[in-house]
Amino acid sequence: MTAIATQAPALRITARGRRALAIVVAAPVLALGGLGVLQATTAIAGQTAVEVSHETVVVQPGETLWSIAEVVAPDVDPREVIADIQRINGIGGAIQPGQELAIPAEYTR
């Protein structure tokens, strides 16, 4: 009897298989990259913390950020003052009567 040598069929990967393989390989790389970015931004944020001195004003009925900006810094472009007030108070929209707003010290001197 003679032995017949048979060759194993060639391995074929479908498009779906290639996508799955790419995801399996890319997932750990992306996860480690994301972790690195989070650590970097935390380190940067920790280094740039600055104590900001400010005074506060209480919003009166009918007042707007624009009117407050004109009163606290009449010689400065109100848009700049509004942007600083929004940034320091963490607001992006409307203000309400009775709300306390921090005004950056550079405008209260």
Q: What range defines the domain where residue 39 resides?
A: 12-49
For 54-100, what is each residue's pLDDT tens digit?
788 999 999 999 999 999 999 999 999 999 999 999 998 889 999 99
Residues paired with residue 56 on neighbouring β-strands, in sequence order: 102
Same domain, 31 and 76: no
Return the higher-pLDDT residue of 34 and 71.
71
Taken in order 98, 100, 89, 87, the sign of the CA dihedral is: positive
Same domain, 45 and 60: no
Q: Under DSSP, is residue 57 helix (H, G, I), strand (E, B) or coil?
A: strand
**C-alpha count within 13 angstroms, C-beta hemisphere, residue 45:** 6
Same domain, 59 and 103: yes
Considering only CA atoms, which of 19, 107, 18 is closest in space to residue 57? 107
